[in-house]
Structures are given as C-alpha cells and as structure tokens.
Amino acid sequence: MTIIKMTAAQVARKLIEKQPLFILDVRNTDAYDDWKIEGHNFEYLNIPYFDLLDGVEEIIPKLPTDKDVLVVCAKEGSSVMVAEMVAEAGRDVFYLEGGMKSWSSYLEPIKVGDLTGGGELYQFVRLGKGCLSYMVISEGEAAIIDAVRFTEVFTNFAKEKNVEIKHVFDTHLHADHISGGRHIAEATGATYYLPPKDAEEVVFDYTPLEDGLTVKVGASQIEVGALYSPGHTIGSTSFVVDNKYLLTGDILFIDSIGRPDLAGLAEDWVGDLRETLYRRYRELAEDLIVLPAHFMIIEELNEDGTVAKRLGNLFAENHGLNIESEEEFRRTVTDNLPPQPNAYQQIRQVNMGKITPDNEEQTEMEIGPNRCAVR
C-alpha cells in the first residue's frame, strides 16, 4: 500500500469544504488534548508514537476504509514512521507534511467581499491558530491589518494582485501571536500604524493610530477609519472599512468577547471593555459586517470558510453583548478566563521589538491554540 504526504493547504480545503477525514494523532496525550486539528467532519484517534513502536496491528481495525486516514505528529518525523507501518499492514495512508508546525503556520486567503469602485477585501484565515488577518485592495494599493509573522504570504499575495502595500496596521499590541506588521512595512516601505497607548514601551518608530484617523487606500478612496475601542488592551482600535465592514481586533468575536487580562490589568480594563461593547459599538450601524482578529471554534466559520457576521446579529446572539448587570459582566470577564496563551509575555516583548528570537524560537512561542476570548 502507499504512503502519501498531505499538505496543510489540502487539509484546509477538506476542513472548509466539510469533507470527511480520519486523523491518527501520534503526539503525547497532553499535547493532543491542548490543541488538535479541528474539522466539521473529522474523526480522531490519539495514540502516542511511543505506544506504537512495537507495531500498529492493534490499531489497524480502528482505521476506517471509507475515508482518508491522516497521521499527524508535531514536526513530521514520527508520523512518517507510523504511516510506513500502517502502509506495510496493507492500508493506504497519508501523513501531514511538516506536522502540527506546518498546520499552525498555514494561512488560507479568502475573499470577503467587494468594496466601492472595484476594491476587494480579503481575510487570511490561520486555521491552526485561529488568527485572522486582512488585506484591503483598491486601484493598485493595499492596506494590511493584523498581519501574522509569515510576511511572505502577504507580500506574495500583493504581487499576485499587482498591488503595492502602502499601509500596515495592528489593532493592538498582540499577546498570543507574533505580528508581521512592522516587518512587512520595513520590507515594502509602507507606513506602520500602532495605537500609541499600546506602544509606550516599543523600541521602534511607528505612526500613531488614533481615534478618528482616516487613511485612504487607492484612487477609489476606500476609507479605513479608526475607532478607539479599549478593553482587550488599553490601546485597542477598531476599523470601519468602506462603511461596510467593522474590523474588531480582539474586542469582539463571533461567539465571544475579548479578555482584558493579558497585560495583567483585567480589573482596570473591564470597564473599558464594557464601554466599548455596550456603548461605542451600539452607536454603529447594525448592518456592518464584523470581522474579528481571531476565531475560537470551528463552528464560527461560514460556508465559504470566512469568519464574519452582521453586527446586529451579534447584538442578538452573542452572550457577551447581552449581560445587563455591570457586576455580572465584571465577574464574567474576570472569573471565566481560559489559561493564558503560551509564552504571551515573551510574545509581547517580541512585538515591542525588545527581543528578537530566531524562527524556531518563534514557532515554539506560538504553539497551541489562541486564547484571546472570554469563555
């Protein structure tokens, strides 16, 4: 029987298209329980690699014959060895090229919609980490919002679209992933914007991203308007793009709301979070389409793989937007917090420019699920 590699991009298409897949995950149980490849029609079996060193005979009957079987490990090596044993036992089998490391770094660009005058808005979905980045394109120019560290994905996409990256924004100082914004700006000559209240300790130059700032993208005058919206961080800033889309950063998600504790100031910032969600956002048009910087669960993906929902629907359906008592809201966002992101303090230091870890160290920092939301 044959052993074939499956790329992260191929797994992504199976996920988005709701195709079936059986995943044999050979990482240790604690790593698997913390973080795995999520999919609508995916089935799982977790058997640590070390338990399979003497052979795979016992698990062969547990592997389906009517769907693809994908062996997954951390970096690829162990899954190749297990896949070879499964093939020797007479079964066709795939292994994930690059392992969970490649799954964590893969970005799927998906068009969200058209903008005035022929412009386009793209969402880059980092399926393995839950991160969402954006590119606004109009008449030869582009603006990028909340880019992750894989800068070539964005610069190559801009080349494919024959556009020049003019503006790069971070909605806040990220704590759960390393930003690629500053590096994209340095490589392209674009202007890099960061909220000044989040940037008091950064050691590089930036352009202040302040309430009311409007940046034009392209000759068709697509406006990327800044809306100060503190709560997740004290500088958190949202964007209204083309009077059609609301990019909420890590303040508001489809199924939850942002956590205020990643700088150790949950008690101080919970009031800001409520003010943003219950007053500032309530003043906006309910027809705006919310585009967050993260998603938490696979059910938040739409049929086309995008993560987007009308603001008015979220006012009706998102529990975090419907807590009448201020005291209960305070308890909800300070008592129901998930574990803090892996290495989040170090990630903040990287995003301030204070430390410059190599690529392998950055990968280790980012391993695991994102944890930017209140449960």
Q: What are phi and psi of 172, to 5 degrees?
A: -165, 175
Q: Whose CA is closest to 146, among 123, 121, 165? A: 123
Active-site residue, from 73, 96, 137, 209: 73
Query: Which tokens is 217 given?
Result: 């993208």
Q: Whose CA is closest to 369, among 346, 349, 344? A: 344
Q: In the chain, count H helices and then E strands.
A: 11, 18
Q: What is the largest CA-CA distance in the chain?
A: 65
Can you spell out the DSSP letters for 304-335?
A: TS---EEHHHHHHH-GGG----HHHHHHHHHH
| 10 Cβ contact partners less than 8 Å away, ≥ 6 residues apart | none
Reply yes or no on whether 372 is catalytic: no
Q: Whose CA is closest to 105, among 12, 3, 43? A: 12
Active site (catalytic) residues: 73
